[in-house]
Amino acid sequence: MIRVRSKNVLLVAPDTFSVELLPNNKQFKHISSTSHIFPSIHEQKPNLVIFDYDHLNADIEKILRRLQSNPAYNKIKVCCYKQKEHTKVDSLLKVLGVDYIFYPEDFKKSEKGNSFSNALAHIFDAPVMALMAKASS
């Protein structure tokens, strides 16, 4: 699972994939049409936009260039979900302003990490965990 820690999130994908909402999320909006991206951005004013690369493959470059060229969108973090890694495409996405790229493996890794940290959290109190963190550094 990817934990989204942003007040307002816009997801552009054919369906909602594993995005777990946290209590501090005020708004979460899902759209699947490319024609609704910028009207939704103006309406919602998201802090984070998550694009499904496979869904927007033909239009992703135009969308990212428009986001990067307009100073009104400077504070928006951009994430991209891809099925597999590709060095040239990933580097192009980074140049076009994508802050984070997620793959299906990232969901599996974070699930394992969360279960381990949850197990430790249930065993120890928060003050004990803070002391352990200070001692290890």
> Of how many residues is the chain composed?
137
**Angle, CA of 92, 97 and 103, to the nearest 5°:** 65
The pTM of the full predicted model, rounded to 2 decimals, is 0.70
In-domain check, residue 2: no
**What mean pLDDT do residues 82-104 have?**
90
List the domain range (segments joined by +) for residue 38. Answer: 9-135
How high is the pLDDT of residue 137?
42
How high is the pLDDT of residue 98?
93
Report the CATH number that the domain containing residue 36 is assigned in CATH.
Answer: 3.40.50.2300
For 2-30, the pLDDT digits (tens) are 565 667 888 888 876 655 554 555 677 88
Structurally, the chain folds into a number of domains equal to 1
Answer yes or no: is pLDDT of 76 > 50: yes
